Chain A
Amino acid sequence: MKTLSICIPTRNRQIYAMSAVRAMVRSERQDFEIVLADNSDDATPLAEFFAELNDPRVKLLAPESKVLSMRANWERMMPHTTGEWVSYIGDDDYLDPELCEVISVTTRRVPTVDAISWGRLYFIWPEARKHREVTKVPTGNHLIGVDKQEMMRKLFFWEAASDRPMCPFGVYHGTVRRSLMEEIRDTFGGVYFGHPIVDYDSICRTLLLAKGLVHFERPMSVFGACKASNTFGMRDEKVAAERIRTFKAEMDGVIEARDFPFPLELGITAQIAHVIESFKQQQGIEIDAWEDNFIRACANFCEAQPNRELFNLKKSGYTEAIREWRGEAALKTFKPVYKTRQDLPPFVGINDKNLSFDMGIGNAQSAAEFYTVLEAMMFPIPLLEGRLAA
């Protein structure tokens, strides 16, 4: 049995998926597998790539006769995985197979662990980068046991949220033990993934049922954003609206929660809130005193806008939604202040346990290359066991 199944669902972005797979199979490890679920209009590119690759660690699921929703494409992968642990990434992302070593070290120390997360690394593909981008990588390298109650507060109560809840556990850019995935399926209506926005749905499900949470501070994967990605789309209003239309056309199920009048066009905070609300409504979870935290996250989202025009647009959108949702009084918590200083350059260097650096580092042309460059300057995974033993 493999230690890890890395799942890469893809649709019409074959070259990105191939780039990630090519880099992963360079690993000498034999204890991981890659499952590619192709949901593209044209099956040929990945089929040819797969034949040429001829690596027993890679499985390809060909497109079905009709285009699947993202959720269904994620769902159909699980039965084809054999790993004791499962992880999903996007096709323009990257994940280091050395995660197997992290899993093995972690499970020896904490046998009950069933969800592991790690530090985050963001990469905008060069063709989608209009100007110099400075990004951050966490510099820590500790394995940390995480209190589940604290995570529940962060996710369901939006405690200390930025523009989104600070809970990294789930199958997307995290890894979940197979037994927990099966428990998730059995608990939530016989499917692994329920909501069209699969990543946050997975976070909710994972957190509710997980028994042991461990966070590794060092990044093990890269959140990529190519020009065609939803992440990239969020940077432009028109593109974002178009992406939401396409997404809705191709999805199954319902995104919006009941009685939650936040249009999806408002952006990531509203979208995530719909996932969490839907989950709570379905599971009959009723909690109090989370609203103010959520409203603060809405303000944080507005404050993160790159220019005043967008700030004003989002501010009025959220103002209207909050008023409709909880009345005028709820707006007392909603006090976004425009702080973006386009005239100031970004900080570069080490500060507050993060290294801020130019995304163009090493002229990386792909998420995998980006990770390779960064890997040479992060904590070496082969030393993890030895350090814990010391």
Chain B
Amino acid sequence: MVYLTICIPTRNRQRYCIEAIKAIAASQETDFDVIVADNSDDPEIMKQFFANEFSDSRFRLLPSRDRVLSMIDNWERTMEEVTGRWVSFIGDDDHIDPRVIGLLRRYEREHKDVDAVGWSRMNYSWPDNRVRSTLAIVPCAHDTHIASKALLQDNLYKWSERNKRPSCGFGIYHGALRRSLMEKIKRKCGNRYFEHPTVDFENSCKVIHLAKKLIYCQRPFSVLGACAASNSAVTQSFEAEKQRVQQFLDELGDGMQVQGDDFPFSPFLPGLSILSGIASTTWWYCRKYGLDKTGFEENFVHAAIDHCLASRNADEYEIKVAGLRIGFDLWQGGKWAHLFNPPAFKPPVSHNTLTGVYGKTIYLRESALDAATPGDFYNFAQSFVMPAEHVISDRRAFAA
């Protein structure tokens, strides 16, 4: 049994996935394995890669089946193959540093009952996904925090921060979970590892509910990549968003739906797919498992306003407001519609151009970067984030 299993579900983005595999394979760590779960229309590309171009016993391919699986079913079959003591999922256009094993070992030594570990992630847009100016983001702090479940639940179930996206920081996606926690989730939640199509957020909901101890490391150990074909690329244009939502819905499993009937914020409304996707997931989870979400409605109104105000220009703002009005009019008989009063929009002076250090985070102009992949970018950023070995050994003393 290896210590960590890294899972990479992938569909029709072989070029990115192969880069992700190569970058992880460059690691000297040995106590991990990687499952690449291919769900592509053409199974041959990944098969050929594994057969002829790549040889590393730490990696294993689950080839495409004869029919396309829904994303959730592909994740499910991947999880069934996991043997590691810990498990982590990343996207096929992402990167993870296997040295995170050292961090997990440290936290296990210090806290026997830890079963969920989160860490900061870097953000990186692939060169093909820079239609507009883009910024890479690198969090540079390196402290460790033991998370309060109550606070996390307030943030994620009730949206108490009232931001356009709730923060969580824990989950199987760009985080690590003890496999035993995933088994517990399966036992308690419909005999499946994953139930809802928004797999990352549904898992976060479960983890902050069912984990015994959650520990967060501020030092980044993975990179959220965004290639032109990625879900996160929807923020670049309404057209890209529409296509991605349609594709996502087309590939949902039988009987699956993204939004509940009682949460009428359609992901089809332009500019709202991410907001409504996340909100409908946390709403669904709380309702299904009877969790306290008191205050969600008011908080969500403010989060929706925040989402509108984060627009790039007045057109985008108007479109988002109009879409949300439809949702609020329909939701619970229009009960919350009177609260949805976004203030006048002031277009930002600049968008995605403010590079520099703000707080403990660095923003970098991506067009100036040499790094061509998330793995390259992660290596580049090693120059200015605390070296992993010092975080792993919990070093506190440094030369003046």
Contacts and interface: CB of A to CB of B under 8 A. Distances in A.
B398 A350 contact: no
Interface in B347-393: 349-350, 353-357, 360, 362-365, 368-370, 380, 382-387, 390
Contact of B384 (A342, A348, A372, A380): A348
Given A377-B357, A380-B354, A358 B383 contact: yes
A362 B380 contact: yes
B142 interface: yes
A141 interface: yes
Contact of A361 (B142, B355, B384, B400): B384
Given A349-B141, A350-B357, A377 B350 contact: no
Interface in A366-390: 372, 375-380, 382-383, 386-387, 390
A386 B54 CA distance: 51
A377 B364 contact: yes
A349 B383 contact: no
Contacts of A29: none
A290 interface: no
A178 B353 CA distance: 33
Contacts of A383: 349-350, 353-354
B140 interface: yes
B360 A347 contact: no
A284 interface: no
Given A349-B385, A372-B368, A377 B399 contact: no
A377 B398 contact: no
A112 B168 CA distance: 51
A139 interface: yes
A345 interface: yes
A360 interface: yes
Interface size class of A (residues with CB under 8 A): 20 to 34
B338 interface: no
Contacts, number: 91
A344 interface: yes
Contacts of A377: 355-357, 362-365
Given A347-B398, A349-B386, A376 B369 contact: yes
Interface in A329-372: 339-342, 344-350, 355-358, 360-362, 372
Contacts of A361: 380, 383-384
Nearest to A354: B357
Contacts of B362: 350, 355, 377
A360 B380 CA distance: 10
Nearest to B219: A349
Contacts of A342: 399
B66 to A, nearest CB: 46
A350 B363 CA distance: 13
B399 A344 contact: yes
Given A362-B370, A375-B368, A380-B365, A341 B399 contact: yes
Interface in B317-362: 349-350, 353-357, 360, 362
B395 interface: yes
Given A340-B399, A350-B140, A361-B383, 16 more contacts: A139-B356, A339-B400, A340-B400, A344-B399, A345-B395, A345-B399, A347-B386, A347-B399, A348-B387, A349-B141, A349-B142, A350-B360, A350-B362, A372-B368, A377-B355, A379-B354
